[in-house]
Amino acid sequence: MMLAYTDIGTIVFGWAVTVVGIGGYALVLIRRGKRLSRVVAPEDRRWS
């Protein structure tokens, strides 16, 4: 497939920043959640 369009660098960078920003924040949430889950009693984690 051909992706020859104007300002491709800026556009791909914009998408990458969004993906990394949201994905990175999601990973932080997952890891912090696992760490915190270990020190909290099961009755305070009613969703799992």
Partner 1 sequence: MTTLTTTTTDAPGDVAPTSTGSRATRILGIVILVGSVIGAYLGLVTSDPDVIQRDAVRLFYVHVPVVSLMYIPVTLCTVASIMWLRKRSDGWDALASSSAEVATVFVGLGLVSGALWGEITWGTYWTWDARLTSTALLFLLLVGYLALRRYPAEPAARAKVSAVVGILLVPNALLVHYSVSWWRSLHQDATRGFDTSMDGNQLSTYAVAQGVFVLILVWLSIHAFRNAWLALQAERGDLDIAIAERMADDDATGGI
Footprint on residues 19-48 left by partner 1 (CB under 8 A): 19-23, 25-27, 29-30, 32-41, 44-45, 47-48
CB 45 within 8 A of CB 37: yes
Output the smallest distance, CB 41 to partner 1, in A: 7
User: Structure tokens of 47?
Assistant: 């969703």
Which segments of the chain does DSSP mark as H helices, in order? 8-39
Closest CB 9 distance from partner 1, rounded Å: 10
Distance CA 9, CA 14 (A): 9
In the complex, the residues that contact partner 1 under the rule CB under 8 A are 1, 3, 5-8, 10-23, 25-27, 29-30, 32-41, 44-45, 47-48
